[in-house]
Amino acid sequence: MAGLFGILDVASRGMAVNQRGIQTAGHNIANAETPGYSRQRQVLAASAPLQNPNGHLGTGVEQLTIERASDAFVQAQLVKQGSQLASTEAQANALGLVQEVFNEQDSEGLSAVLSRLYDAFSDLASSQTPGAPVEREAVRAAATAAIDTLHARDTQLRDLQRSTDASVVALLPEINDLSQRIQSLNEEIARLEVTAPANDLRDQRDQLVRDLAERVDIATYEDARGRVVVTLGNGLPLVEGGFARSLVAVADPTNPFNPTTSQVRYRDGANDLDVTADLGGGRLGGLLRARDTVIAGAIRSLDTIAYNVAGTVNGVHNLGTGLNGTTGDFFAPLPAVEDAARDLTLDANILASADSIAAGLTTAPGDNTNALALASLRDASAPIFLPGDPPGPASGPTRSLLEHVAAVTSDVGQQTRTMELSRQQQGRVLEGLHDRRDEVSGVSIDEEVTNLIRLQAAFQANSRVVSVVDRLLQDVLELI
């Protein structure tokens, strides 16, 4: 009798295991489209046999655990590449907008307004009317147009910098929230895994880690209790042990641009550190690089154009004399290359009267000598002053201003192109990694349905064992 009941045990355990198998397949099918889900499978083994000198007797099946199909290498690569791509995307987006500021293919640009300033000087030189009153006004108008264009471009770039900074500030709460959620999942996983792997929670955590990596450059490893430790690119822990640290934005008083941008500070109980310069990857790193390198660089490039235009024009203008006898600068002198595009204005004398424009070396109304020299600046090459050069000598390449504008535009285009190509290339790498992940972890409906059929048959076979034992038991009972 005991033996027969033992067989019932075997069959019922088999049915229970098959039932769990069906549930697992159902769980997989239900989560086929759940982001970050890894398919799960039963790990089965024959249960411990009964010791018997005539041969150990099998006791049926046992479910050891339910494991999830995941590849730690693919996960690590997804974290790394996702971080890189997000950074590249943020920079490529910023560059795309920066290059529109310099784009002259479909609109009036810096090079066109500068050309017109030289045209105006040339018209002033070739005017046949004594004193050239009309041409003087035209010079002033062309210079004002050049100044306005530089100001407008500068404002566009600074607005772009400010909105990028706003994105940085808005991103930090998202990062802190993700750290918080990873930290609480850590605790739950550690608690649950005392018994068995917490597959679904691990999937969720992996997904959150990937989401976090898209936002900020991180590295991860698991501690002995299955809790994931998340550190920033510079090694500072973001999630470790019982609590998460936070990143906060603070206005940066040392920022050379106006309006000021924000610093990213790392805070835990004991530390309050500026980590702005350490964050390279993720959307945060990309936005910071866009703000502090890409856009800042573009603003400074614009400054070199403004400073050198003012410098070369003033250099010649100073040699001449206005119709009204005044001498001096044409543009108000600039102390430094930095912020030149923002601060460029006409000299007070020129603003007061167009007769102050030094067309000649004398006050004679037909003297066009200096206007000729001003007009010939169009093709004059000189070393370009770069940020930090004044009052020292210019350290830039020797070129004319129009060549400089073209070179700056070409440089912005080159940067944009390079970043755009990396974005495409990294996007493909990430697509490949997602394919790899699907290959290992993705749910195939065909496979799950096949499993269902298999398990259904196994369940039926087990129930057949029960009915056989049942008949045997009836036979035995009839003997009584």
Partner 1 sequence: MGIRITQSTLIRNALADVTRQRERLARTQEQASSGLRINRPSDDPVGVSGAMLLRAGIDATAQYGRNVSQGRARLAVTESALANAQDLFIRARELAIAGANGTQDATSRLAIAQEVEKLHDALVAEANTTYAGGHVFAGFASDTAPFVPSGGFVPGGPTAPTVAFAGDSNEAALQIDETVTVRVGLDGRRVFQGDADGDSVVDAGREDLFAVLSDLWTGLVNDDAAAVSATLPRLDTALTQLGTERTSVGAADAQLRDWEARLAERTVDLETRLSQVQDADVARVYSDLIRQETALQAGLQAMGRMVQPTLLDFLG
Piece of 136-144, 219-227, 314-322, 415-423 that binds partner 1 (CB under 8 A): 415-423
The binder of partner 1 chosen from 13, 162, 181, 378 (CB under 8 A): 378
Cβ closest to partner 1, residue 84 vs residue 368? 368
Q: Least distance from C-beta 432 to partner 1, angstroms?
A: 10
The binder of partner 1 chosen from 83, 149, 321, 409 (CB under 8 A): 409
The binder of partner 1 chosen from 188, 268, 278, 447 (CB under 8 A): 447
Cβ closest to partner 1, residue 67 vs residue 100? 100
Restricted to residues 105-164, the positions that interact with partner 1 (CB under 8 A) are 105-106, 109, 111-112, 115-116, 118-119, 122-123, 125-131
Nearest to 88 by CA among 413, 410, 427: 427
Cβ closest to partner 1, residue 28 vs residue 263? 28
Count the site residues for partner 1 by CB under 8 A.
68
Residue type, 238: L
Piece of 172-180, 204-212, 253-261, 366-374 that binds partner 1 (CB under 8 A): 366-374
Whole-angstrom distance, CA of residue 358 vs CA of residue 355: 8
The binder of partner 1 chosen from 30, 152, 449, 476 (CB under 8 A): 449
Q: Does 103 bind partner 1 (CB under 8 A)?
A: yes
Cβ closest to partner 1, residue 264 vs residue 408? 408
Q: Least distance from C-beta 45 to partner 1, angstroms?
A: 21
The binder of partner 1 chosen from 148, 159, 431, 470 (CB under 8 A): 431
Dihedral over Cα of 104, 108, 110, 115: its sign = positive
Q: Least distance from C-beta 201 to partner 1, angstroms?
A: 22
Binding mask 9-38 vs partner 1 (x if CB under 8 A, - otherwise)? -----------------------xx-----
Q: Least distance from C-beta 166 to partner 1, angstroms?
A: 25
* Strand-strand pairing, 398-399 and 40-46: unpaired
Q: Least distance from C-beta 208 to partner 1, angstroms?
A: 20
Token pair 């430790």: residue: 229
Cβ closest to partner 1, residue 149 vs residue 276? 149
The binder of partner 1 chosen from 406, 429, 472, 473 (CB under 8 A): 406
Cβ closest to partner 1, residue 156 vs residue 246? 156
Q: Least distance from C-beta 406 to partner 1, angstroms?
A: 4
Contact 247, 275 (CB under 8 A): yes
Q: Least distance from C-beta 388 to partner 1, angstroms?
A: 25
Whole-angstrom distance, CA of residue 123 vs CA of residue 120: 5
Restricted to residues 162-221, the positions that interact with partner 1 (CB under 8 A) are none
The binder of partner 1 chosen from 16, 229, 332, 407 (CB under 8 A): 407
The binder of partner 1 chosen from 364, 382, 429, 465 (CB under 8 A): 364
Cβ closest to partner 1, residue 164 vs residue 415? 415
The binder of partner 1 chosen from 231, 444, 458, 465 (CB under 8 A): 444
Whole-angstrom distance, CA of residue 306 vs CA of residue 454: 77
Q: Does 100 bind partner 1 (CB under 8 A)?
A: yes
**Tally of CA atoms within 13 A in the half-sphere of 247 that contains its CB:** 32
Q: Does 379 bind partner 1 (CB under 8 A)?
A: yes
3-state SS track over the chain: CHHHHHHHHHHHHHHHHHHHHHHHHHHHHHCCCCCCCCCEEEEEEECCCECCCCCCECCCEEEEEEEECCCHHHHHHHHHHHHHHHHHHHHHHHHHHHHHHHCCCCCCCHHHHHHHHHHHHHHHHHCCCCCCHHHHHHHHHHHHHHHHHHHHHHHHHHHHHHHHHHHHHHHHHHHHHHHHHHHHHHHHHHHHCCCCCCHHHHHHHHHHHHHHHHHCCEEEEECCCCCEEEEECCCCEEEECCEECEEEEEECCCCCCCCCCEEEEEECCCCEEECHHHCCCHHHHHHHHHHHHHHHHHHHHHHHHHHHHHHHHHHHHCCCECCCCCCCCCECCCCCCCCHHHHCCECHHHHHCHHHCCCECCCCCCCCHHHHHHHHHHHCCEECCCCCCCCCCCCCCEECHHHHHHHHHHHHHHHHHHHHHHHHHHHHHHHHHHHHHHHHHCCCHHHHHHHHHHHHHHHHHHHHHHHHHHHHHHHHHHHC
Cβ closest to partner 1, residue 39 vs residue 245? 39
Q: Does 67 bind partner 1 (CB under 8 A)?
A: no
Q: Least distance from C-beta 249 to partner 1, angstroms?
A: 31
Q: Which residues contact 393 (CB under 8 A, 6 or more apart)?
A: 383
Binding site for partner 1 (CB under 8 A): 32-33, 95-96, 99-100, 102-106, 109, 111-112, 115-116, 118-119, 122-123, 125-131, 360, 362, 364-368, 372, 375-376, 378-379, 402-403, 405-407, 409-414, 416-417, 420, 431, 434-435, 438-440, 442-447, 449-450, 453
